[in-house]
Structure 1
Amino acid sequence: MTEHATTLPHLRETLVFLALAGLLIPLLQRLRVHAVLGFLVVGAALGPFGLGAFAQQAPWIGWFTIPREEGALALAEVGVLFLMFAIGLDLSVGRMWAMRRWVFGAGTAQVVVCSLAVGLVAWLFGNPPQTAVMLGLVLSFSSTAIVIQLLASQRQLGTQLGRATFSVLLFQDLAVVPVMILAQALGKGTDALLPALGLSLLKAVAAIVIIYGVGSRVVRPVFRQMASGRQPDVLMALTVLCALGIASLTQLAGLSMALGALLAGLVLAETEYRHEIEVMIEPFRQLLMGLFFLSVGMNIDLMAIVRDPVWLPLSVLGLFAIKALLTAGVLVLHGLPRATALEAGLMLGQGGEFAFIVIGVALASGLLPDPTARFMMLVVGLSMMITPLAASLGRTLAGRLSARGQAAVADAMPDLPSLQDHVVIAGFGRVGRLVAEILEQRQIPWAALDNDAAAAGEHHRRGLPVFVGDAGRAELLKALRVQSASAAVLTMDDAPAALRAVRAIRAAAPDLPILARARDEAHAGALIEAGATTVIPETLEAGLQLAGAVTEHCGIPREAVQVLLDQQRALRMAAIPVPSHAALPRD
């Protein structure tokens, strides 16, 4: 038994985690509980500060708990490495450059402003200046994993809210590296701060340049040569070798292994194998994400709330208040509507998973005393637990603020008495602009609404009848004289927004033809039930166009192909399931 325990360290902890992951993930999905929240709560309940604390009095409890912090920390180290690797794989130089205005503009401002505010509060509470600086930087970060999963579950990653929020998170991910270096340098004392910081930065830059420069030139040909047969086992072995190998190199250079794992992800993100690796590691990614948050939960002492029922909840709420207000202000200054900025601020108000990494580095370097580090970990962990509630509050407040703003916009909108028999376009992205161009060619008047204030303002300055607003607001529809329109066209890709717009337009103009863009046939059925006259499912049209091109290349005359496509379109549209009112997606 001793031999087996030595050969496979932390075997029992690993088995407990795998059992929890295998049972917990399906249960959370069935109960519609956020996975990250579930792992945090279960980790806190079964960890050293939960039921695991009673393992000595009742040894049988130890079979399904992790009573020792060493086991939780060992699991956390593995989870951190692969979490950083997955984040690096999501990043790319091209992607960051395309979003540079938001990433390096709004992202930098958010981290700087929140760091100064939180650091000032920490200093006023008696912390030394270097500790206050580190706490300010650490707590300015938000949880990439939680926020991205919330946005994905609400289908908001492609919206204005999703793009702005992701940009801030992306900069925070990049800022982790210099903050970790600063934590190590501050731990050596303020007298040697500048030399230590300069040396650490020099080593980090040299390591990053060498690893990224050499790695990008070595990894691609190695993968081409060794993984040319597309064997999954070979590709998996090379991926893990790259991640752990580069992490080991950074450790040898005196930097963290987490930084190396991030660099490994960046190196692989620039290769043609990126998407294949993403698909291959996706199941492991979710598992390791759960591993990380389970280990984080195991270090949260929920009984601390009982021991400190005042300062701990106040600290969590204060963190949310400071970050939400300041982040919202930064996003408003960068052109985001106030309602959307407030929702983004509350969604980003929690502490992030990287705070545990940086706090661990600061604790090891002596920068943070143990009581302060544990208190801050509790604040971060509890803030992550209540993030789904904060996001729900943000949606509610944003809806109310948006309603007031839309009413004000409608009042300020110029009178359009000349509009008659025009087309109202809801959503003025690429599809909406194409519709408008075709209408102008046929000299058909139109007016459009779009939620993107910056884009709508630019179009309006060019003399186009494009106004800021939500087509689901009756006041705006009335201002656009929808009752006198000849048709309404909905081009937005936000499914709940499209449903709201159909219902509002149908209520304002019961006989108006409404033509709507749909994601798929299920979404089309919901739009028809809501009152749309004609729907165009994107997946159906794309499939018909591909089928038509294939049959035409096979020698079928174009006229016969068109007849066949029309027949299939009619059959498919007739078979679209129209849900009952109870089954409609909620706004």
Structure 2
Amino acid sequence: MATPAEHASFLPPVLTFLSAAVIGVPLFRLAGQSAVLGYLVAGVLIGPSGLSLIAEPETAASVAEIGVVLLLFIVGLELHLSQLVSMRRDIFGLGTAQLVLCSLLLGGAGILFGTGLAASAVIGIALALSATAVALQLLEERGDLGTPYGSRAFAVLLFQDLSVVGILALMPLMASAGGGGDAPWLGQAAASTAKALGAIVAVVLVGRYGLNPFFRLLAASGAREVMTAAALLVVLGTALTMQEVGLSMAMGAFLAGILLAESNFRHQLEADIEPFRGMLLGLFFMSVGMSIDGGLVKAVWPALFGATVAAILVKVALVAALFRLFGSGTLDALRGAAVLAPAGEFAFVLLPQAEGLGLTDATSTRFAIALAALTMLVGPVAAKGLDKLLEARRAREDVAEEPATDVVESAEARVLVIGFGRFGQILTQVLLAEGIPVTVIDKDVEQIRAASRFGFRIYYGDGTRLDVLRAAGIGRVELVCICVDDAEAALKIVDIVHEEFSAVRTYVRAYDRMHAVELMNRDVDFQLRETSESALQFGRATLEGLGFAPEAAAARIADVRKRDVARLVLQQAGAAPEAGWLRSVQPELKPEPLTAPQRPARALSAETRDIIGHDRREAAERLLATPAAEPEEDAAEAADEEETDETVQPAAGRRADAANG
């Protein structure tokens, strides 16, 4: 049996990572730098080249790769197949040009400095690849993932991920050609390609026909934690499948995200995955910082830093030229090139494998890995500096930009509707009839299934969760319509929106009068009791059915509505009799007539007589339960009553005389 010390052995590394992140990242953010740089520097400090607080950086790196996997899954969730098809020119045209030209230039530089042909080719390809995690994190921090240059940068990253399987298949060919042997590389390459294609087809079929029913069944169970576990199971299972057939885990996660992008559950899945993604991605960046060989940096630092600067400048210049060739403006081309300048995560996979195949020697491999890590360290700084240099110029110039290829589906929506019951369905019909883009979330699986008849899609999610609201794009809408039939849930959503998204207006369905008062106390922009207007219109129709002119019926309804609103305002202010003496005490608001009744209520059956009699008995019992007053108080009350009678009676007489006159 493991000892308590062995059980607790994982805590020091975890605490070290958390402390480094909590201290390092805020410092760099306060200095105006990217969070990526904060994670990288923190990794350098706690790694073997710094304080050596982490004994096994390789273990942390293997766990941290899951962060990149989850990042690509979320990116896939935010894409639709139609958007992917529309990006095919950038993916296969721009992506191919970037990878080929950067590989040739960087590999050619290696040949000029005396490196062998095969080693130069592998190092050139490894450095030509870009850091998916760094680039997407920078674009996400800027909010530019949906811009033209952000879409092009993402297309390049996607092609690089797709090309990894081909690169891995070509490396044995290069090794056998270099050794002059007759290894059966062609058969191995064909078998690897067939396995990869078969795995992709299997994942597509399962995702297309199995995932939606699977998540619908879990959602019907009502266990939220099971949905989170299922989301992780799908992402990591697909990633592992792709890894087993030679593709990257990130590519598998991206494919899973694409398949679920059209699902009703996409926002809920994104909200469930997001916390894991953020922490593990930060761990990945720290593991990259820990991988930098401090001894090598000290030994050959002039050559290493010179190569780092040269590699970044070459990639920025070449990629910016390609962006311009594919239609981007000058400023956008430079910004897109800057985020793609750091070497990619796959450099840490390709280079060790190349050494194992004999394509590179140990010295070249160590130098190239350190160079890749340093480009990831310097790249975010260069991108930030370039942003500052271009910011003033961009503000002065009116750059004509092409329409953005939206990556986030909910970025177009002007209204977020929470709740798709009878109330929400009618509301969305009105909005869609005017062509207003709407995003709808609901946690009832049956309502989601029923939405298919309305010609638009709604998404599964709990509107009382902040992460679900963020994933649904609440920060980008003009107003949120809260149409749930749960008063407490509606109040919770209002509180979240007012606290986290103060610029978003809140329109709320009120359950009853008390709920309306509570919503007014929370300063919502608009509230409406769910039955008030329908009852008023029903009353108007009733008056017209009794022979009243439509104008007279409409005037009467308008008068009743005005009186009702006035009473509601008084009840909110605590001035109405039933609102209580203290604002902190909110008793149940009982229905009261808005005009004085002309005659007392009469019971038409034995049951109603019992009810009215019961109310009178309750009033009598309350009176008898009141403590008896002292004799002096009785006398004072009697005198007060006599004075009141003397005051009221003459007034009543005057009103009667006036009426008779």
Normalising by structure 2, we get a TM-score of 0.56
User: What amino acid sits opposite 2:104 in the alignment?
Assistant: L
Match of 2:57 among 43, 53, 72: 72
TM-fit CA distance, 1:265: 4.2
Give the aligned partner of residue 427 of structure 2. Answer: none
Does 2:325 align with 1:340?
no
Q: Which runs of 5+ in 1 are unaligned?
A: 53-64, 407-449, 457-517, 522-536, 565-587
- Residue in structure 1 matching 2:75, options 74, 83, 90: 90
- After superposition, residues 16-415 of structure 1 pair within 5 angstroms as 16-30=16-30, 32-52=32-52, 65-67=53-55, 71-91=56-76, 92=79, 93-183=81-171, 186=174, 191-192=182-183, 193-253=185-245, 260-395=252-387, 398=390
Contact 1:161 1:340 in 2 (8 A): yes
Q: Tell me, yes or no, if the aligned pair for 2:37 and 2:381 is still in contact at 8 Å.
A: no
Q: Given residue 355 of structure 1, which amino acid in structure 2 is its aligned partner? A: A
- In structure 1, the residue matched to 2:442 is none
Q: 2 CA distance for matches of 1:270 and 1:184?
A: 39
Return the alpha-carbon distance in structure 2 between the equivalents of residues 159 and 250 of structure 1: 30
Residue correspondence of structure 1 range 431-470 to structure 2 within 5 A: 451-452=399-400
CA contact (8 A) 2:507 2:527 kept: no
For residue 292 of structure 1, report the CA deviation from its aligned partner: 0.7
SS at match of 2:48: coil
Partners of 1:84 and 1:277 lie apart in 2 by 14
What whole-Å deviation, never above 9, does each CA across 1:192-218 have from its counterpart, x for those lacking one?
443332222222112222233234433
Report the Cα offset of residue 540 of structure 1: 6.2
CA distance in 2, matches of 1:182, 1:262: 23
Between the aligned partners of 1:283 and 1:184, the Cα distance in structure 2 is 39
Question: Which residue does the alignment assign to 2:464?
Answer: none
Q: 1:338 to 1:258 in 2, by over 3 A?
A: closer
Q: Does the 8 Å contact 1:147/1:348 carry over to 2?
A: yes
CA RMSD of aligned residues (A): 4.0
Query: CA, structure 1 residues 245+552, in 2 after alignment: closer, same or farther (shift >3 Å)?
Result: closer
Distance 1:554 1:144, change over 3 A: farther
Given that residues 43 and 288 in structure 2 are in contact (C-alpha distance below 8 angstroms), is that contact kept between their aligned partners in structure 1?
yes
Secondary structure of the 2:221 match is coil
Distance 2:72 2:106 in 1: 26
AA partner of residue 388 (structure 1): P
User: For residues 147 and 389 of structure 1, do their structure 2 counterparts lie closer, same or farther at Cα, with a shift above 3 Å needed?
Assistant: same
Identical-pair percentage: 35
8 Å contact 2:27–2:38 — kept in the other structure? Answer: no
Change (3 A) 1:303 1:250: same
Whole-angstrom distance in 2 between the partners of 1:548 and 1:116: 62
Label 1:541 to 1:268 Cα distance change in 2 as closer, same or farther (>3 A).
closer
- The 8 Å contact of residues 359 and 373 in structure 1, kept in 2 or not, is answered as yes
Give 1:382 shift: 1.3
Q: State the Cα distance separating 1:155 from its structure 2 match.
A: 3.7
SS, match of residue 210 in structure 2: helix
Higher mean C-alpha displacement, 18-27 vs 346-355? 18-27
Cα contact 2:231–2:273 (8 A) shared by 1: no
Question: SS of 1:42's equivalent?
Answer: helix
One-letter code aligned to 1:452 = A
Change (3 A) 1:183 1:82: farther
How has the CA–CA distance of structure 1 residues 258 and 301 changed in structure 2, closer, same or farther, with 3 Å as cutoff?
Answer: same
- Equivalent residues of 2:68, 2:133 under 8 A apart: no
Contact 2:36–2:380 at 8 Å: present in 1 too? no
CA change 1:358–1:276 in 2 (3 A) is farther
CA distance in 2, matches of 1:6, 1:211: 39
* Separation in structure 2 between the aligned mates of residue 554 and residue 78 of structure 1, nearest angstrom: 57
